[in-house]
Amino acid sequence: MKLVTAIIKPFKLDDVREALADIGVSGITVIEVKGFGRQKGHTELYRGAEYVVDFLPKIKVEIAVDDSLVEQVIEAVTNAARTGKIGDGKIFVFDVGQVIRIRTGETGPDAL
């Protein structure tokens, strides 16, 4: 099993969620994060003093899926989250050793 995590622009969340639903992903977990990357923040003036907003708000989406679905998920997220402008974000994929559904104790793919 894999955990696909994607850092995306916040206003793309709904599109990504819908794209994932369309390919049958039944659960995701979402986290508010701040990102620092090629997309630069802005320098603002607050009361005449400089104010660098380095960190931009981003959303991190975590999707645990069966290995067989990974490519589809990546594609869905990429398409839904892409604006073509700098700062669209990244996808990282990790191996998951074990999955357990707390409610039932099920493990493995059944737990998703």
Ligand X SMILES: Nc1ncnc2c1ncn2[C@@H]1O[C@H](COP(=O)(O)OP(=O)(O)O)[C@@H](O)[C@H]1O
Residues at the site binding a copy of itself, with contacts judged by CB under 8 A: 2-3, 6-8, 17, 26-38, 54-55, 58, 60, 64, 70, 74, 77-78, 81-103, 105, 111-112
Residue 47 CB, shortest distance to ligand X, in Å, is 27
Contact 4, 77 (CB under 8 A): yes
Q: Which is nearer to other proteins, 47 or 110 (CB)?
A: 47
Q: What angle do CA 30, 33, 37 make, to 5 degrees?
A: 125
* Rounded distance between C-alpha atoms, residue 56 and residue 54, angstroms: 6
What 8-state DSSP symbol labels residue 21?
Answer: H
CB within 8 Å of 83: residues ≥ 6 apart: 9, 12
110 makes contact with other proteins (CB under 8 A): no
- In the complex, the residues that contact ligand X under the rule CB under 6 A are 7, 27-29, 35-39, 56, 58, 62-64, 86-90, 101, 103, 112
Residue 67 CB, shortest distance to other proteins, in Å, is 30
Backbone dihedral angles phi then psi of residue 82, each to the nearest 5 degrees = -80, 130
Contact 38, 7 (CB under 8 A): no
Residue 69 CB, shortest distance to other proteins, in Å, is 26
Q: Which residues bind other proteins (CB under 8 A)?
A: 10-11, 13-14, 32-34, 42, 44-51, 57-59
